[in-house]
């Protein structure tokens, strides 16, 4: 057996092997013995206590700290000197020479860039919500997913544990650029998931476009935008270009395309995606084309894993974008 | 969805944690089995990983995929255990172990995978760990050196040795 044959054999090894017996009872018993389960029983009680405290401090809770980083931003009609409080319902506005930093409760911060208008909508322990009417914000959140939301005229950015830059005009034309973790952008009709190192165009009527990775070839990005936002005839041409130009690292784009093309085209999109990044075990062509959520989620998990690995090890190790494994 | 499960488990939901176990046990067990080369050890380490996961879960912030984070945790648990106890006998997969390999989808004939799994299990400890981390799990030599506590050059030498031994075993 030569080196290549060994490599091929290794690459075919199953990633998952079921244990010969159910290990859960042993795990559960150890957690119970160590008191770890019991310790967690206090968590709901502790949360309830925190909730009571927060209810008592309701007035304080419904306001976030704001610091002026440059110039003198406005809160309502009041000029902010060095720092102040942004209360639910208040608008914070920067002009072309001012910037501000909002503390998002205790879970993160938002830098408000010049020429931006943003409102505090909800300030609760389980929901932190801003409305971005226009301008640009840089958000950084360190919390469990789905605690921080930013509404724009075109839809809502939902934090899944991340950092990102979001810009929009007053009509809802905008751009989302994720620099850490993952963001979901939702409208009433559909949603996109944007991973770190990826961007996504936003339009007022159609909402989130198809995300694409930084450095994707310009013709590929143009075709994606045409597919997202152009007329029907143009979309058919655009999809052919997208499929022809897609690389393995564009799998996250094709995963979204699969769900947005006409049903008759799903097969060809799936085949291209599968050729670039083979589906994980258990994901069948039939299930993916039928848009069964289990199949789509399984595929997404693989794409997400490879993508994170490529980003984290960028410049350190060359990763095969088809498998996520380091290249020999 | 996995994100939702993780969030619920982070909030102390034991049912969600159990579901996380169901979803990830196979991947963790496979890693433990290959790193330890022993089915019984692999079961113990898999249990260790999930007990440790319950303690560490709140520190997961979503900077990477949960499965990647858990995978790293599992590697640390297995390697720490080895460092702590200092025990490591050379082990060979028992006769019934090949059955445990069945269950995942195989693109290659089953007997080849079983031969390869057995050959990996029979490697010397140091060579096996580096081979599993580098060739199967995709870690780089720098990462492996940190994880295992060896020099990067040693990692490369162990990999070379592991590949040579495997080729020899599989040609027999």
- Asked if the model's pLDDT at residue A176 lies above 80, the reply is yes
Task: Tell me what pLDDT residue B95 has.
Answer: 34
For B41-91, the DSSP string reads HHHHHHHHHHHHHHHHGGG--SSS-HHHHHHHHHHHHHHHHHHHH------
The whole-model pTM stands at 0.56
- Residues 6 or more apart whose Cβ sits within 8 Å of residue A164: A138, A139, A157, A176, A177, A178, A179, A180, A183, A194
* DSSP-derived 3-state class of residue A68: strand
Report the candidate in A57, A120, A54, A50 with the shortest Cα–Cα distance to residue A85: A120
The verdict on B5 and B83 lying in the same domain is: yes
Task: Tell me what pLDDT residue A55 has.
Answer: 62
Q: How much is the average pLDDT of B132-153?
A: 89
Q: Is B23 on the interface with A (CB under 8 A)?
A: no
| Calpha distance B68→A156 (Å, rounded) | 28
- Asked if the model's pLDDT at residue A59 lies above 60, the reply is no
Q: How much is the average pLDDT of B39-67?
A: 89
The verdict on B81 and B1 lying in the same domain is: yes
Please give the structure tokens belonging to residue A322.
């088809």
Task: Tell me what pLDDT residue B107 has.
Answer: 35
| Phi, psi angle pair for A230, to nearest 5° | -90, 180
CATH number assigned to the domain comprising residue B121: 1.10.10.10
Among B57, B88, B119, the domain-final residue is B88
Domain assignment present for residue B14? The answer is yes
A165 and A144 Cβ atoms separated by less than 8 Å: no
CATH number assigned to the domain comprising residue B43: 1.10.1740.10
| Calpha distance A268→A263 (Å, rounded) | 10
Domain assignment present for residue B134? The answer is yes
Angle subtended by helix axes A232-245 and A266-276, to nearest 10: 20
| Cβ pair A145:B7 closer than 8 A | yes
Please give the structure tokens belonging to residue A110.
């938002």
- Asked if the model's pLDDT at residue A126 lies above 50, the reply is yes
The verdict on B145 and B78 lying in the same domain is: no
Q: Is A161 on the interface with B (CB under 8 A)?
A: yes
- Write out residues 112-141 of B within 8 Å (CB-CB) of A: 112-113, 116-117, 134-140
Q: Band of the pLDDT at B109, cuts 50, 70, 90?
A: very low
Lowest mean pLDDT among A71-85, A168-182, B91-105: B91-105
The residue segments making up the domain with residue B145 are 108-172
CA dist B30 to A163, A243, B27, B42, B119, Å? 33, 35, 5, 8, 15
Pairing of strands A148-152, A127-141: parallel
- Asked if the model's pLDDT at residue A42 lies above 60, the reply is no
Domain assignment present for residue B153? The answer is yes
| Cβ pair B64:A146 closer than 8 A | no
Which residue in the set B7, B26, B166 is minimally distant from A144, CB to CB?
B7
């Amino acid at each position: 057996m030569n080196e290549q044959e060994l490599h091929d054999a290794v690459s075919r090894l199953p990633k998952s092997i079921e244990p010969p017996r159910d290990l859960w009872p042993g795990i559960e018993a150890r957690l119970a013995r160590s008191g770890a389960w019991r310790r967690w029983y206090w968590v709901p009680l502790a949360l309830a206590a925190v909730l009571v405290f927060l209810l008592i401090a309701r007035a304080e809770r419904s306001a976030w700290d704001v610091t002026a980083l440059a110039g003198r931003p406005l809160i309502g009609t009041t000029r902010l000197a060095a720092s102040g409080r942004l209360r639910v319902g208040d608008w914070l506005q920067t002009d072309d020479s001012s910037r501000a930093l909002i503390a998002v409760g205790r879970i993160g911060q938002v830098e408000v860039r010049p020429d931006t208008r943003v409102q505090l909508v909800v300030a609760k322990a389980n929901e932190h919500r801003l409305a971005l009417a226009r301008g640009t914000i840089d958000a950084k959140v360190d919390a469990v997913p789905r605690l921080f939301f930013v509404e724009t005229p075109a839809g809502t950015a939902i934090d899944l544990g991340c950092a990102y830059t979001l810009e929009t005009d007053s009509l809802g034309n905008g751009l989302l650029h994720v620099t850490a973790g993952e963001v979901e952008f939702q409208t009433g009709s559909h949603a996109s998931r944007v991973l770190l190192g990826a961007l996504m165009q936003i339009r007022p009527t159609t909402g989130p476009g198809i995300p694409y990775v930084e450095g994707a070839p310009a013709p590929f990005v143009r075709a994606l935008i045409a597919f997202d936002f152009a007329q029907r005839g143009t979309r058919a041409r655009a999809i052919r270009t997208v499929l022809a130009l897609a690389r393995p690292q564009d799998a996250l784009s094709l995963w979204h395309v699969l769900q947005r093309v006409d049903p008759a085209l799903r097969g060809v999109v799936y085949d291209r995606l599968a050729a670039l990044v083979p589906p994980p075990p258990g994901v069948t062509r039939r299930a993916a084309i039928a848009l069964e959520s289990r199949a789509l989620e399984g595929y997404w998990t693989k794409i997400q894993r490879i993508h994170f690995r490529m980003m984290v090890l960028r410049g350190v190790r060359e990763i095969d974008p088809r498998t996520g494994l380091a290249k020999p | 969805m996995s994100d939702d499960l993780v969030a619920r488990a982070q909030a102390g939901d034991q049912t969600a944690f159990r579901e996380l176990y169901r979803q990830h046990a196979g991947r963790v067990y496979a890693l433990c089995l290959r790193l330890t080369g022993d089915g019984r050890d692999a079961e113990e380490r898999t249990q260790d990983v999930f007990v440790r996961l319950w303690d560490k879960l709140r520190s997961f912030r979503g900077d990477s995929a949960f499965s990647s984070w858990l995978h790293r945790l599992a590697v640390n648990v297995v390697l720490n255990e080895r460092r702590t106890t200092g025990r490591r006998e050379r082990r060979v997969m028992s006769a019934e172990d090949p059955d445990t390999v069945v269950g995942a989808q195989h693109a290659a004939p089953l007997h080849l995978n079983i031969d390869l799994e057995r050959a990996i299990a029979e490697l010397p400890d140091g060579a096996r760990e580096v081979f599993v981390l580098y060739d199967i799990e995709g870690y780089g030599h720098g990462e492996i050196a940190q994880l295992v506590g060896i020099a990067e050059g040693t990692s490369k030498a162990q990999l070379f040795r592991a590949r040579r031994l495997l080729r020899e075993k599989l040609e027999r």
